Amino acid sequence: MTLLQIEDLKVHFPVRTGRFGGGKGLVKAIDGVSLNVAAKETLAVVGESGCGKSTTGNAVLGLAPITDGRIRFEGRDLAGLSPAERRHVWREMQVVFQDPVSALNPRRTIAQSIAEPLVIHGHPKTKIAARVDELMDLVGLNRDQRDRRPGALSGGQRQRVVIARALALNPRLVICDEPVSALDVSIQSQILNLLMRLQRELGLAYLFIAHDLSVVRHIADRVAVMYLGLVVEEGPAAEVFANPVHPYTEALLSAIPLPDPRQRGRRKRIVLEGDLPSPLDPPKGCPFVTRCPIAEADCAAARPALVETGDGHRVRCPVRLRRT
């Protein structure tokens, strides 16, 4: 069952350009993204900073204005919902942000932070304390921490508080926006293991946003690789990791550290030359053409389509598709 459906999503931001701000431009943060998230699955959206992955999550949450396209949740178009219907959808769709420090009010206790969505959505006051204790147990927090403030906790503990708050209303979809990038490597694995356990126990679906493919290797069912506002490759995680097709996906995978020193000389690191083009002035053809090591003359002429290659694997690279 498809839980979240994103159809040809576009998010464009008008900006002033020029030395004195007299000109006008359009930042194409997302320029035609289509993705689906099924119930109880994890779709990881990965790419460099500025590729549009966080903007995609914000658009789903209603935090970024949609220029064009549709977002459906459980078959309902979010743009056409009444305020009461949208309030119900917000109960079903929650978020875990990247930085737990900025996500939590430093003046509120841990219990108050976790209880916030319960209070907002009218949960019976007599049952809030018990629900907070239940959520703290669920994410591995000690109940004696309920009266502490975020500054008294470690980074991993603060992120557990953020996760507990996101689960307070029993959502079906959780958007995880770089949920471990602000944490130490040793703590990252603990939080990833927690998220996977919660998914199994609660039947959650995740839209998991990350810039590091090594982070999503074990948690993702499917992976969508974004570049300059477009999905350039998407497919089952095992297939994308084992048989990447797009040159950009290959470059990202080549940067993943290998744990065994004996294997490090067997894989060639692909270093992309040049910087990510500005979304104010993207290439007219393939978005990756200015950095692509296999680009051909026609790559700059027209934007390539996202082509199905089989078993749910889609690729936006006509050069590679011609060669396979």
Q: For residue 149, name the pLDDT band (cuts at 50, 70, 90).
A: very high
Q: For residue 58, name the pLDDT band (cuts at 50, 70, 90).
A: very high
Annotate 36-56 with DSSP letters as a single string.
EEETT-EEEEE-STTSSHHHH
Q: Does domain 2-323 have CATH number 3.40.50.300?
A: yes
- In the chain, % of residues over pLDDT 70: 95
Task: Write down the residue that tokens 């359009």 correspond to.
Answer: 26
> What is the tens place of the pLDDT at every residue in 218-240?
899 999 999 999 999 999 999 99
Torsions phi, psi for 85 (to 5 deg): -70, -40
Supply the pLDDT for residue 255.
83
Whether the pLDDT of residue 145 is over 70: the answer is yes
pTM over 0.85, yes/no: yes
> What is the tens place of the pLDDT at every residue in 285-297?
999 999 999 999 8
Q: CB–CB of 164/138 below 8 Å?
A: yes
For 7-16, what is the mean pLDDT?
Answer: 92
The mean pLDDT value of the chain amounts to 91
Domain ranges, ordered by start, for the chain: 2-323
